[in-house]
Amino acid sequence: MAYNTYSLKEAASRPERFVAGHRLCAGCGAPVAVRAVLRALRPEDRAVVCSATSCLEVSTCTYPYTSWNDSFIHTAFENAAATASGVEAAYAALKRKGRIPGEWKFIAFGGDGGTYDIGFQSLSGAMERGTDMVYVCYDNEAYMNTGIQRSSSTPMFADTTTSATGPKSDGKPQFKKDLTKIMAAHGIPYVAQSAFVGNFKDIHQKSETAIYTKGPAFMNILAPCPRGWRYETAALMEICKAAVDSCIWPLFEVIDGEWVLNYEPKKKLPVADYLRMQGRFRHLFEKGGERLVEQLQDGVDRRWEELKSLCER
């Protein structure tokens, strides 16, 4: 779907598919991501939403209450993509037999723990099989629902309950896994990375493109967590903007194998400015932390140049 055919005003006027009353924390990125994605559904279309066990699931579907206006399936931590893939296969079979009218879309949501790690095999399998679905990772960079343990999405030197900082540890010693690039390597029709910036056009546009692209699509959305990242709840948008402007979380798409950079900051923000906003990196600004910040900056710069090179080909 081309940018010049997209109407943000029209999309914003669509009915809510994800409604108020959930129990997610104030300042959490997950509900913002879900609302933006589901608003991309056209009013006449219906959807089946599948969610892995996560903060999102336990806080939005507590019997007998639900925040979901579409059909909703809660599945295990590790198999959201496999569940959605099976439902889509059943739908395709019934539609061929003329037993289901209208159009249905299939959308799976998972946090980084259920996507980068535990659910990766089912996600990779669903994408490889060509399932006509969208998988959305709301990336809050740790296992937040079970106690803020590190995941392969956790940034280097972040303080978590299983990569605690102290005299013998600077935090998680590994760089964050580049899952968006891994998903692009599957050769699927559409892959995108987004965040809550500006007027939300980027995330709305990409959500609509993902949902209405035939075949498998993957979206990775930065979704900060106030408890795990340790920031004031009102700082959600400011943190996302800093992540994008520092190139820690670039905005890009891969459309049928073509890499497209959606935003390049006029003045690239130092990584340190982003890190200072979060308590999980507080130790980096104590005596001796300068070398760690430099190491992080070098890693971000290298990945940014690699991305620009892919987009310029």
Each domain of the chain, given as residue ranges in start order, spans 3-312
pLDDT in tens, 148-203: 999 999 999 999 999 999 999 999 999 999 999 999 999 999 999 999 988 899 99
- Mean pLDDT within 123-133: 98
Q: What is the pLDDT of residue 5?
A: 60
Instruction: Provide the angle, in degrees to the nearest 10, between the axes of the packed helices 201-211 and 30-39.
Output: 60
pTM greater than the 0.85 cutoff:
yes
Tell me the average pLDDT of the chain.
Answer: 95
- How far is CA 180 from each of CA 2, 140, 186, 218, 278, rounded to the nearest angstrom? 21, 14, 10, 8, 24
**Confidence class of residue 313 from pLDDT cuts 50, 70 and 90?**
confident
Architecture of domain 3-312: 3-Layer(aba) Sandwich (3.40)
- How far is CA 221 from each of CA 5, 29, 138, 216, rounded to the nearest angstrom? 23, 9, 5, 17
pLDDT for 20 beyond 60: yes
